[in-house]
Amino acid sequence: MAKGRRRRAWNLLAAALPRLGALVTVGLLAFVAGYVLWRGLPGLSWALLTQEESVLHGQVGIAPCILNTVYVIAVSLAAALPLGVGAAVYLTEYAPRRRLAAAVEFAAETLSGLPSILYAMVGSILFCTVLGLQKSLLAGSLTLAIMTLPTVIRATQESLKTVPRSYREGALGLGAGKWRTVRTVVLPSSVRGIAAGCILAAGRVVGESAVLLYTAGLSTAMQDFSSLSGLVKASGSTLTVALYVYAKERSDFTTAFAVATVLLFLTVLLNLTAGAVGRRR
Amino acid sequence: MGVLLAACALAAVVFLLLIALYLILAGLPAIRKAGLGEFLLGTVWDSTNAEAPRFGILPMLLTSLWGAAGAVVLGVPVGFFTAVYLAKAAPRPLARVLRPAVSLLAGIPSVVYGLVGMCALVPALRAALDLPAGDSLLAAVIVLAVMILPSVIDLTTTALEAVPREYEEGSLALGATEAETWLRVSAPAARSGIAAAVVLGVGRALGEAMAILMVAGNVPNMPGLLRSVRFLTTGIAIEMNYASPGSLQRQALFSIGLVLFVFILLVNLLLNRTLKGRKGA
Amino acid sequence: MKEKDIIKARDLDFFYGRAQALRHVTAAIPAGRVTALIGPSGCGKSTFLRTLNRMSDLVEGTRVEGSLTFHGEEVFSPNVDVTELRRRVGMVFQKPNPFPMSIYDNVAYGPRTHGRWNRAALDDIVERSLRAAAIWDEVKDCLKKDALGLSGGQQQRVCIARALAVKPEVLLMDEATSALDPISTARIEDLILELREHYTIVMVTHNMQQALRVSDKTAFFLLGELVEIGDTETLFSMPRDKRTEDYITGRFG
């Protein structure tokens, strides 16, 4: 009794669809990456990356945007890290009451699913207006800190969970208190996972544009990072915002694609680093 | 110390409450002034009309709905079958290369997709379908579908790889083919992971603003595949920078934000209930 | 019933890559009888069992030389429809592996795969198979219940029912009771004796008492070689080969 015709046909289809799907996916993603590189690489130059733009000298440069991106990554992580690690430590190590833990997990999950435009709105009111920070990289970074908080919490939790119970029991058995155990034994063992989580969060920050567009400003001019007040007031576009500005507002596609290429490399770099950091155990 | 850490954990809850609270406080006035019915079901959005502004968001609401649905209908099947390929059908050396490559692309900033959409997809649509401008709902749906592919694939592949080998062996020993085993045993066993992937895809599609801003045309028409349209997210994004603080227009934008917030919460609840609830009768 | 050998191996060699797992195995499996494969761990008995329904194909890099026939046809010939072979030669695994579905869907899986979709026919097949596996009375009122909710012994009997549902001629049992408690083991041994009349059973077991209790013919494997094969009582009471005697008397294994 050979396989029925219907069954054979079904199997032909069922075996073909995965290959087809993979082909479509790889094709699309290769096209996106390829197109960006094709149009972006010609415009990319060392000058572009290290200069600032100047209408006077007729030059284009995205160095300010790169610096702004670094600023935003640094400040948002600096804000999110203590809060996120603290929250994760509390949830994993201090065994809080079920309802509290459930509430925090629900809040974190909901926060991570909210559209960035909502963060942009609320962030611009809360940080720019109410706290008086005006449109600034600082305001944007703080908004992004809230946005990436769930990522940091989750990565830290996962990392803490892999630390063997025996480590904790060993320390507690020697008379160390809870916090001391966490600080000296548990956290050091989970540094890799937390670091990987931070890099993932940095990736999200780099990729974010809507929030910054409305909280941090559009300027592509070099900001003053030399003084504290300069740091607080600095307002400008990061790489992603700059891409939007160059493409949509100024129709300068050469630069836009060059920025896109830089972003592509940055994304790949961050992803590979996160993988390498997290993997070695 | 425990108290300090608990405070960190509560920060997430506080932020969520803050956002919700603010959206409600800032969003209700305009809804009250325009009337809930007119707001939700009104088909005209004319916020800058000084004498008789109209604030009907139905076109944007429906556009967000159809846009997300379209992206999911296109993206989830392609993503699912690609995941089957990566997890089961592909030769292992190939899968080892492709898998990280695909998940790497999940980190590409949305503006980059928007840029490619703007410069490659939109002109192509214009030429192929003989349209005055290629900016349309169709362009947005395609861009969204490509954007959600990497995350859907990543989650689904993980879920499929986690299916115990015993189930697959049992199926093969009964005389089923590999394809029959993947689709009738492995995929159902991975149900909850696949559901999570779909929920994520829907969430991303509903929340995206920047990429859509660059390809959808941004006119608040009732949705039509080839028409220029405005989503709820882009509705906010487009006018946010020039709505003066305190004006009715600004308040109306917050109302859209409130609707978006509630919409996303509802969709998440609904999807979680129907998709994940089906596991384990 | 005509006494016939339905599976015949002649000089069968089996390789995992470069390692040889079976050496010149020559054996005949009689129809309608229970044949036990015994031997210490790693002796090749499970490998041999898995060649009978080509589940050995699932491992990459395996190679077969020599002859293995089922009803006279070469099992490893490229013309063979493997899915049909596996329907006719069913398998029950060491660890019960019901699918995460209802009991009904588990048992109906095989028939559905092979083209039977008629609801009434399936109901009939499911009942018959569960009866044949001596578990119908225990589950007839909760067929829609998740199979994973059953006890280990019950799960294994559902797996047996599932294997029987496609009406195989041969049932392969790969240490099918070693993961179960003594009572479940006894029930399944009784089941094997019942099934014997209608099926050919080949079972791998590391429990010699089980082989004695249940089987008609026994084959002793050692380091990939089939050392001795013959009538069970004879093999155990008067083994021809010294290695067999050593194993049976517990000197190793």
Q: What residues make up the domain containing C150?
A: 5-248
* CATH number of the domain to which C167 belongs: 3.40.50.300
From chain C, pick out residues whose CB is under 8 angstroms from the CB of B177: 83
Cross-chain residue pair A214–B203, CB shorter than 8 Å: no
Top pLDDT among C166 and A102 is at C166
Count of structural domains, chain C? 1
- Three-state DSSP at C102 gives strand
pLDDT digits (tens, 9 = 90+) for A181-207: 888 888 888 888 899 889 989 998 999
* Structure confidence by residue, pLDDT tens digits, A52-84: 777 666 677 788 888 889 999 999 999 999 999
Residue C20 in any domain: the answer is yes
What is the arithmetic mean of pLDDT over B215-236?
Answer: 88
* B42: confidence class by pLDDT, cuts 50, 70, 90: confident
Whole-angstrom Cα distance, residue A21 to residue A19? 5
Chain C contacts of A7, Cβ < 8 Å? Answer: 114-115
Inter-chain CB proximity B23 and A118 less than 8 Å: yes
CB atoms A121 and B236 under 8 Å: yes
User: Rg of the Cα trace of chain A?
Assistant: 24
Domain B61-245 falls in which CATH fold? Answer: MetI-like fold (1.10.3720)
Q: Which residues in C lie closer than 8 A to residue A3 (C-beta atoms)?
A: 81, 83-84
Q: Where are the domains of chain A?
A: 5-43, 46-279
Residue B280 binned pLDDT confidence (cut-offs 50, 70, 90) = very low
Q: Of A103-107, B45-49, B269-273, where does mean pLDDT reach its minimum?
A: B45-49
**A-chain residues within 8 Å CB-CB of B213?**
244, 248
CA distance C179 to chain B (A): 14
CA-nearest residue to C87 within chain A is: A1
pTM over cut 0.95? no
Cα A270 to the center of its chain, rounded Å: 9
Neighbours of A150 (CB within 10 A): 25
* Residue among C88, C201, C111, C92 nearest C155 (CA): C92
* Residues A225 and A52 sit within 8 Å (Cβ to Cβ): no
Give the pLDDT confidence of B54-78 residue by residue, as tens digits: 788 889 999 999 999 999 999 999 9
For residue B270, pLDDT over 90 is answered with: no
Sort out which chain A residues have CB atoms less than 8 A from B237's CB and list them.
117, 120, 210, 213-214
Per-residue pLDDT of A118-131, as tens digits, reads 999 998 888 888 88
ipTM, two decimals, is 0.88
Alpha-carbon torsion (B101, B104, B110, B115), positive or negative: negative
User: If you measure CA to CA, which chain C residue comes closest to B191?
Assistant: C100
B157 CA: distance to closest CA in chain C (Å): 19
Instruction: Give the residue from chain B lying closest to C81, CA to CA.
Output: B175
Question: Are the Cβ atoms of B6 and A94 closer than 8 angstroms?
Answer: yes
In this prediction, residue A281 carries a pLDDT of: 46
Residue of A nearest to B236 (CA): A117
The span from the CA of B178 to the CA of B160, in Å, is: 14
Determine the Cα angle at A266 with ends A261 and A269, to 5°: 130
Any C CB within 8 A of B170 CB: yes
Answer whether B189 touches A (CB < 8 Å): no
CB pairs under 8 A between A and C: 10
pLDDT tens, residue by residue, A221-256 = 787 777 887 778 888 889 999 999 999 888 889 889
- Chain A nearest-CA residue for B237: A117
CA-to-CA separations, B53 to B217, B229, B230, C82, in angstroms, rounded: 21, 19, 18, 72
Q: Which of residues A226 and A114 earns the better pLDDT score?
A: A114
pLDDT digits (tens, 9 = 90+) for C89-116: 999 999 999 999 999 999 999 999 998 8
| pLDDT at res. B187 | 94
Which tens digits make up the pLDDT trace of C212-241? Answer: 999 999 999 999 999 999 999 999 999 999
Q: Which CATH number fits domain A46-279: 1.10.40.30, 3.30.70.580, 3.40.190.10, 1.10.3720.10?
A: 1.10.3720.10
Q: Where residue B158 falls among pLDDT bands split at 50, 70, 90?
A: very high
Residue B77, pLDDT score: 95
CA distance B212 to B68: 11
C126 to chain B, closest Cα gap in Å: 15
pLDDT for A280 equals: 58
